[in-house]
Amino acid sequence: MGEKPYLHIEVDEHFSRVGVMTRIEAFINAIKTRPTFEVSESFTDANYFSALPKRKLNLSLEPNIFYPVYIPNLYPFSQLAKDKFKHWGLKVLPLPETTAQSLSMGTQHAQSKEYITFSQLLGDIIYAHNTIGTKQVFIPQTEGAELDGVYARVISGILTTLDIPVNIMTGDDGKNSVTIESLYLYEDIFDIIFPCIIAGDIILAVPKHMRAALIEQLFMDRVSIARLKELAEQAKMFIPSDNKVIQIIGDPYVVYNQFFVSKIEEPINDAGITMRYQLLSEYLLYMWYQRAVASSKAEIEFVLSAYDDLLDVFSPLNYPFEASLQSLYDLGEEHLPFFHGGNGQYRLAKKLTTVNADALIEIVCMYEQTQNMMALQNLSPKIPSICIGIEETQGFDEKLEILISYVLQKN
């Protein structure tokens, strides 16, 4: 913008209407009092705009096989994927786990109220470059209206400005774009990723101290449906059958980030309550089904077949699935029709259909558009629930303690 008048207005639950009007009036006055200049005729020429300097982004179409490819640390899914692409000549590793230090590295480059998941991912990448020399990072992209669809480009721009030579990959080669929603269309990728995701869901079902051992069992292992059934039977032995249960749902970048979620899981576990994670496999199947419905019958059948595999694998664990993926989809479409962002349809449908738990916690970014859209529907779950914005400056300890106390006293 240079020296041109510039106005930035933040509107949240604490904004002042009078304050906003004052700023707008001051902005209009600044425009009126600013000297005007005549522009040349070439200003409207397309060549004028094409000649303007452009910031180069370190966006790579293909990985450099001589360096590891780092991926966002979504526990335990990223850990399970790290050895599964060796036959492609790729070494895939999770970014280091988020810490207060790495989060601070990201937030210092925030301009306003960016989602904390954006600041966290940016900070994780900067920290990884500074400590272990990370050179390339793959950031999965979405097609919806949520901001995570542009994380890669914005992060690449910031890294370029900071002169940090980390290449960002998105799965888009200019002709084909492998997004999260379209992943099921790429059989070679799907056959590797989907079993790992189911395995991760099974691992999250067991007590926290048992998870690392189960991950080790799957290292260098071909994760087949038969192997997943064995894993589910093994996990069943470690899952307390008489514990009260609190179900959590929300943004995967929050739900599966141990730095964020451990602050919620630890007090729940300390109270002798089981925290049941949202299934990432079901979360993704909903996205794929939503896309398949708008595409072809063959794609619908493929997604439903994958859903049947999930039900089959999870049968020993008695996980409370909806009657069908179609019924879950119908509920999402009923309350958030045509909404494609942050998988809001699934999250709202899951919120409304969760009954086989003693309470529900939504874990979200405070300013997430998807969460705001869900809240505007003014729909309550059938069980006691709270919503925790992970950035809550005053902390959420008291809110969580009240819910835990209620669950413990519930008959």
- Give tens-digit pLDDT for 55-107: 667 777 788 889 999 999 999 999 999 888 888 889 999 999 999 999 999 99
pLDDT of the residue at 147? 65
The answer to whether residue 66 sits within a structural domain is no
- The answer to whether residue 38 scores a pLDDT higher than 90 is no
The answer to whether residue 53 sits within a structural domain is no
The answer to whether residue 314 sits within a structural domain is no
Contact 74, 198 (CB under 8 A): no
- The answer to whether residue 141 scores a pLDDT higher than 90 is no
CA distance 315 to 318: 6
The answer to whether residue 395 sits within a structural domain is yes
The answer to whether residue 348 sits within a structural domain is yes
The answer to whether residue 344 sits within a structural domain is yes
State how many domains the chain has: 1
CA distance 124 to 136: 13
pLDDT of the residue at 149? 66
Tell me the DSSP string of 154-211.
HHHHHHHHTT---EEE-SB-SS-B--TTTGGG-HHHHHHHHHHHHHHHHHHHS-GGGH
The answer to whether residue 186 sits within a structural domain is no
Which letter does DSSP use for residue 308 in this model? H
Which structural domain range is residue 345 located in?
Answer: 240-279+319-411
Q: Phi-psi bin for 89: left (phi > 0), alpha (psi -120 to 50), beta?
A: left
pLDDT of the residue at 411? 72
**Half-sphere exposure for 185 (CA within 13 Å, toward CB):** 15
3-state helix/strand/coil string of 85-114: CHHHCCCEEECCCCCHHHHHHHHCCCCCCC
Over residues 229-278, the pLDDT tens digits come to 999 999 999 998 889 999 999 999 999 999 999 999 999 999 999 999 99
The answer to whether residue 270 sits within a structural domain is yes
Task: Assign residue 272 the CATH number of its domain.
Answer: 3.40.50
**Mean pLDDT score, 158-169:** 92
Q: Is the dihedral of CA 363, 368, 369, 373 positive or negative?
A: positive
Which letter does DSSP use for residue 36 in this model? P
Mean of all residue pLDDT scores within the chain? 88
- The answer to whether residue 48 scores a pLDDT higher than 70 is no
